[in-house]
Amino acid sequence: MRLLRNTAIAACLGVASPFWLSAADLVDAEQRKFFETRIRPALVEHCYECHSAGAKKVGAKLFLDSPSGMLDGGESGPSVIPGDAERSLIVHALRHENDLEMPPDKPLPQAVIDDITKWIAMGAPDPRTADATATTAKASNEKFYTDGELWSFEPIQNPTPPSVTGRSWPRDPIDQFVLAGVEKQKLSPTADAEPRVLIRRLHFDLTGLPPTADAVDTFVAAYRATGQVAVTTLVDELLASPHFGERWGRHWLDVARYAESNGNDGLSRNATFPHAWRYRDYVIDAFNRDLPYDRFLTEQIAGDLLAENATSPAERDRLLTATGFLAIGSKPAKAMNTNFEMDVVADQIDAVCTGVIGLSVACARCHDHKFDPIPTRDYYALAGLFTSTETLWGVAANVSLTAPPTELHVLKTAQAAQPPEGLDQRIDEIESRSSKNDTPLKKEFTYPPGTPLAMGVRDRQQPADCNINQKGDAKKLGDSVPRGFLTAYSADLNAGISIDPKQSGRLQLAQWLTSGEHPHTARVMANRIWLHLFGQAIVGTPDDFGVYGERPTHPELLDHLASRFSGDCQWSMKKMIRAIVLSRTYQLASQGDETTLAADPENRWLSRHLRRRLDAESLRDAMLSVTGQLDPAPADGSAVRHFDVLVNHAGNLHEASDHRSIYLCQLRNSPPPELAAFDLPAALNVTGKRDQTVLPTQALFLLNSEFATAQANHFAASLNAVDTDERIEQLWRRALMRSPDDTELASARYLLETLKPREKAWSSLCQSLLATNEFRYID
Amino acid sequence: MSPFPTPSRRRMLQTASCGFGSLALQGLLGRESLHAANPVPHIAPRARRVIFLFMSGGPAQLDTFDYKPQTGNTPHSGSAFKFQQHGESGLWVSELLPETAKHADKLCVLKGMHCDTGIHAQSALQLHTGDRLRDRPSLGAWVGYGLGRDNRDLPGFISLNTSRPSSYGSAFLPANYQGTPIGVNGEDMSLATLPNVTGDHLPTEAKRQQLDLIQMMNRRHQQQRSDDSQLDAVIKSMELGFRMQATAPELLDISSEPQAVLDRYRVGKNHLEGTCRASDFGRQCLLARRFAEAGVRFIEVNHGSWDQHKNHRRDLQANCRTTDAPIAALLEDLDQRGLLEDTLVVWGGEFGRPGLTPGEKDKDQTGHQSSGFTFWMAGGGVKAGFAYGDTDETGKRAVDGKIHFRDLHATIFHLLGLPANDLKFRHAGREHRLTGPEGGRVAHDIIA
């Protein structure tokens, strides 16, 4: 932008009021919201390119990216006179009055100018802290969504289902919302899925396991006779299965960045978490008992505080274990890291905010969030809850350079599991690179072998507010910020929740998140549920409901689901899932006609179902299941339950197992080899949506891996029909739940007759079926 | 209307997947897919393949290649290290890179690099995909889409020690163009391999028979679901995986290399200090050479982190020490084998760093600088022993010979014989290209 030239106007402008710099503290929520949704985006989009710390060339020494910058002004003097828009230079410039015209090429839309005028008249309340300016601004050229308020902060509506032309089509209000969108695009929904397709889809979606061929036949007959009655019966059976929790628990473990080791701490050390699996089991159990989502969250954030009033010792153990959620994050090494404690807090804030409300608050650790309405003060208000909390991760393989040792929750009712003969509870003893052997563990951190322990958190003896760490540096302390929550929400949400100064405030955080008025909690979870049932979400970025996240494809449907979830369903995840899978939309076929495919290749409008690949766990579980090898019982503990060691020292810690994949040992940077090829999350951050790659290494897993070949051998050995054709029939029915057609039968026979060595022919044929797309994809 | 009607595109991709040269490009340039009004000229390729040495975290250009003695009146920090001119070209290289400096006459140093943001993740994504925010095809995927594969038994795009799928992903391009990762960041790169690339449970002939049955089933399955390009990609990846068994194990096994070569590359030598992570960079560079020899089209090699905020001097030295000799060995070998001629080597990070604060000698801290930083290229048709572009007298911003990431992408495309701004793919109702709506400018001045 050109220099500001109008010194005449500048000369007549007044000087800033002295109270200005403290004004950030006085900005109330409404004003903050106005600033964040109307003013900041406009400044960033239209002005920062030339008037910010990040500008390539700063115009007229004027900085508009901080309160002081706006107030002190540039070469032409102060740009803003709080409370007096008519005397504010920026308003004159924006109106293209006199010869000062900004932006120089074209005036801004009148609405934007009006907003800025209104904002100055309000006293120019500016929540940006002075800190923000000191950091290099990166916001030039940012594209903002200025087409309205940030949608996700708006209260959840309970919209009336729209009327549709195809009146007989919808089965549930969900279908009305979807059909209205489809009709608006001048498309029409595809056919209903065939019952054999539907039962397979339901089995995998609700339990992560395939149905047997007999179950398919039974269901097909029932569906033909009774239609949706049969579907409802099936759905209720599957929801009641203990495998439901193993499937949906795994989805939540992705969000909870669950792992059983710390992952590389930056010094290549990767300490196991021998007790993390108890949190895994807690999650599975929570889904199976249909713990309402609000309670589920509260237990994970503040279970230790509820445990004091637990009704039984077992309940106490369960609640303490729930707080593992806050303790299983990946930490950078403690060595030389003065910010270590705040790094732990950062992980906890990220898990809660990104996981529960879909907002990344992490940037605000160092500066006001550039795009979302999260000022640094808010970050430290939240941080105070966690600095008032003691995190119990254990002894980190007794390498204090990776993390200082902590106690753990001692469980009262869980069974003690003694290490096997000849194996002491192993604690790593290594010579670190920079010091001699770590000192032996202090007594307070050691427990008799086999003691049932759980990771988690508890309140510190003396909770306290947290000081702002300037630019995220724990050694540069700024103001202390009273503990609290995010201020970008309407004042009502924060009213009435006050933090007991003698507690950390985590319980109140949980209350705040689950009050039902919170605009994000229900939307984010409803969206996550939808994602797992449709393969794509209504908000395509399930972990980001902020400015940079995608906009919902079906905003009304999302609000309908969210209000139904916290309302009629009373936060029951099973009820929410049940409602969705019984909708007609869910039960559509995955084939579409040419027109629809051309008009909507990504299936944005849901006129069909999306074909999906089995994820890593479902693929392995399905293979075990059809070969007859699956041990359907929950696994007891974990391969590392007796190993408090560094994964990088220990070599392979994984053990072969026939239990479901969720029970395999989930070490960071060392994933289970049976799953690693298929896009497991790295578990460093919240992962709402996994990547989905197609790689030759996946082919190699299916063709060569020890697991695949072993399953093929088991499969072959389990086929017991005498006649070759009958055996082929048996194989097809078990793997693909159908009979082979003539071509397939001929090809199979040919393979069996010609493949050498002959004794490998059957296992080779079995392995082939497990590698087909028909086996690996759900229609 | 789409320049790639679906059936012909599918045909084209099928031919491309059979490998062998630039069938996809020929398809692209073929009459049926041309905009009649805007014919794409055929560009003679100067490079056949790319080795991208991605220095994650943002290397400090003022301490490596962008020599800034105090000249004007504005006091500035310059470098914390000594610089010297090298080779006949007299390129300035700092004392931190003595081995690379020996190859100064092969380098084309780009000092006018700049980009949009100092946020690591976003800038790294933009460098890899042209977009800072959304999931878009990566550079290597575009190159594969444009040129096809040179070796039908290996992936066209391999990423070593990679950090996230978005940097080697294919997004809306057909999935068979995505990169194959070897070693995910955090894994021990000395052991990183392609898992399951061998298996002796069946003889090769039996495996072929087995795969034929699988593919027959897959093709029949797909015929009922012809809209699904992912199923098509799986079929191709099954075939590729099968073929890789014949070639990849030998390629990945560096034990056949003479000890002198392993030493030159410093294979297995890690220098862990501060932000400098273990990456067995020597093994990565040696593998890169072997892949290049075998005809892999796009190879990415990763080392990090150059994000040394505090302890700038110590950590920068560690990063330089780790990467210097292996890079020199790579350049030397490529040159000796005549590969440098058609292999474009590109070195750089997601941005650079400002100098240490002047006047505060004790302060050992730097930040991020997107307004001006340095890349270098070598081989593949670029001028050798050449410095292009410059930053201002304080090194703060690029002022001359400016190259944005999209210009870098355009230039790489051009050197490969791809039309910089006309390699497009229609997706979700509009055409996409790597260089984005702005388009990229080819830096013709650096082409030999």
- Could you report the per-residue pLDDT of A689-740, keeping only the tens digit for each? 998 889 999 999 999 999 999 999 999 999 999 999 999 999 999 999 999 9
Predicted pLDDT at A429: 55
**Which residues in chain A have Cβ-Cβ distances shorter than 8 Å to B205?**
756
Q: Which residue of B has its CA nearest to A761?
A: B206
Determine the pLDDT at residue A493. 86
Give the C-alpha separation, B369 to B77, whole Å.
Answer: 14
Give the confidence band of A372 by pLDDT, cuts at 50, 70, 90.
confident
Contacts A–B by Cβ distance under 8 A:
174
- The answer to whether A118 and A82 have CB atoms below 8 angstroms apart is no
Band of pLDDT at residue B38, cut at 50, 70 and 90:
very low
Provide the pLDDT for residue B1: 35
| A756–B117 CB contact, under 8 Å | no
Give the residue-averaged pLDDT of B92-117: 97
Structure confidence at residue B271 (pLDDT):
83
Is the CB of A439 inside 8 Å of chain B's CB atoms? no
User: Does residue A520 register a pLDDT over 50?
Assistant: yes
For an interface test with B, the pick among A372, A773, A777 (most B C-beta atoms closer than 10 Å) comes out as A773
The mean of the pLDDT values for chain A is 87
Residue A763 has phi, psi (to 5 degrees) of -65, -35
Q: Which of B186, B235, B369 sits opposite A263 (nearest CB)?
A: B186
- Is the model's pLDDT at A17 over the cut of 90? no
Determine what percent of chain A is predicted with pLDDT higher than 70: 90
**pLDDT given at position A342:** 93
Q: Which of A56, A673, A748 sits opposite B371 (nearest CB)?
A: A56
CA distance B442 to chain A (A): 22
> Would you call A774 and B233 a contact, using CB atoms and an 8 Å cutoff?
no
The answer to whether B34 touches B49, Cβ cutoff 8 Å, is no
Start-to-end CA distance of chain A, whole Å, equals: 55
Q: How far apart are CA B9 and CA B173, in angstroms?
A: 11
Contacts of A777 in chain B (CB under 8 A): 231
Residue B359's pLDDT band, with cuts at 50, 70 and 90, is low
Is A677–B195 a contact, with Cβ atoms under 8 angstroms apart?
yes
| pLDDT higher at A105 or B374 | B374
Q: At residue A197, does pLDDT exceed 60?
A: yes
A503: DSSP letter: S
Sort strands B107-114 and B373-378 into parallel, antiparallel or unpaired.
Answer: antiparallel
Task: Among A349-363, A483-497, B266-280, B358-372, name the one with the lowest average pLDDT.
Answer: B358-372
SS (H, E, C) chain B: CCCCCHHHHHHHHHHHHCCCCCHHHHHHHCHHHCCCCCCCCCCCCCCCEEEEEEEECCCCHHHCCCCCCCCCCCCCCCCCCCEEEECCCCEEEECCCHHHHCCHHHEEEEEEEECCCCCHHHHHHHHHHCCCCCCCCCHHHHHHHHHCCCCCCCCCEEEEEECCHHHCCCCCCCHHHCCEEEEEECECCCCCCCCCCCCCCCCHHHHHHHHHHHHHHHHHHHHCCCCCHHHHHHHHHHHHHHHHHHHHHHHHCHHHCCHHHHHHHCCCCCCCECCECCCCHHHHHHHHHHHHHHCCCEEEEEEECCCCCCCHHHHHHHHHHHHHHHHHHHHHHHHHCCCHHHEEEEEECCCECCCCCCCCCCCCCCCCECCCEEEEEECCCECCCEEECEECCCCCCEEECCEEHHHHHHHHHHHCCCCCCCCEEEECCEEEECCCCCCCCCCHHHEC
Q: Residue A29 has what pLDDT? A: 63
Top-confidence range, A12-16, A77-81, A752-756: A752-756
- Phi then psi for residue B161, to 5 deg, are 55, 50
Helix axis angle, A277-288 to A242-255, nearest 10°: 120
Q: Output the pLDDT for position A753.
A: 97
- Residues of chain B with Cβ-Cβ distance to A670 below 8 Å are 187
The pLDDT of residue B40 is above 50: no
In the predicted model, is pLDDT for residue B63 greater than 80? yes
Which of B227, B239, B397 best tests the A interface by mutation, with the highest count of A CBs <10 A?
A: B227
Which of A508, A505, A561, A513 has its CA nearest to residue A537? A561
Among chain B residues, CA nearest to A676: B195
Report the C-alpha gap between B114 and B347 in whole angstroms. Answer: 14
Name which residue leads in pLDDT, B416 or B189.
B416
Question: A-chain residues within 8 Å CB-CB of B178?
Answer: 693-695
Residue (of A294, A200, A285) closest to A245 by Cα position: A285
Q: Binning pLDDT at 50, 70 and 90, where does residue B360 land?
A: low
Do A613 and B133 make contact, defined as CB atoms within 8 angstroms? no
Residue B116 pLDDT > 70, yes or no?
yes
CB contact (8 A) between residue B277 and residue A268: yes
Query: A36 versus A744: which is more confidently predicted?
Result: A744
User: Lowest-confidence range among A116-130, A508-522, B342-356?
Assistant: A116-130
**Contact with chain B for residue A695, Cβ under 8 A:** yes
CA distance B197 to A19: 69
**Do B245 and A669 make contact, defined as CB atoms within 8 angstroms?**
no
Which residue of A58, A197, A693, A774 is the best one to mutate when testing the B interface, meaning the one whose CB has the most B CBs within 10 A? A693
Residue B30: pLDDT over 70: no
Q: Tell me, what's the pLDDT at A98?
A: 64
Rounded to whole angstroms, how far apart are CA atoms A20 and A24? 8
Q: Which residue of chain B comes nearest to A263, CA vs CA? A: B186
Mean pLDDT in residue range A641-648: 89
Where does the pLDDT of residue B331 fall: very low under 50, low under 70, confident under 90, or very high at 90 and above?
very high
Q: Least CA distance to A333: which residue of chain B?
A: B274
Mean pLDDT for the stretch of residues B341-366:
86
From the list B198, B235, B428, the residue facing A704 with the nearest CB is B198
State residue B96's pLDDT score. Answer: 97
Q: Given pLDDT bands bounded at 50, 70 and 90, which one contains residue B27? A: very low
pLDDT at A449: 84
State if pTM tops 0.90: no
Judging contacts by C-beta atoms under 8 Å, the chain A residues touching residue B230 are: 611, 613, 694
Provide the token pair at A403: 């993390």
Q: Does any CB of chain B come closer than 8 Å to the CB of residue A185?
A: no
**What is the rounded average pLDDT of the residues A130-149?**
35
Burial class for A577, CB neighbours closer than 10 Å (0-12, 13-18, 19+): buried
| CA nearest to A49, candidates A98, A102, A120 | A102
Runs of H (alpha helix) within A667-760 = 696-704, 706-718, 724-736, 742-754
pLDDT of A475 reads 83
Q: What is the mean pLDDT of residues A85-94?
A: 84
Query: What is the pLDDT at residue A129?
Result: 61
Q: d(Cα A27, Cα A31) in Å, to the nearest integer? A: 6
* Whether A56 and B240 lie within 8 Å, measured CB to CB: no
CA distance to partner chain A, nearest, from residue B203 (Å): 8
Give the minimum alpha-carbon distance from B43 to chain A in angstroms, rounded to a whole number: 31
Does A601 sit within 8 Å of B209, measured CB to CB?
A: no
B100: distance to nearest CA of chain A, Å?
A: 27
**What ipTM was estimated for this complex?**
0.81
- The pLDDT-based confidence of A99 (bands split at 50, 70, 90) is low
CA–CA dist A136, B257 (Å, integer): 47
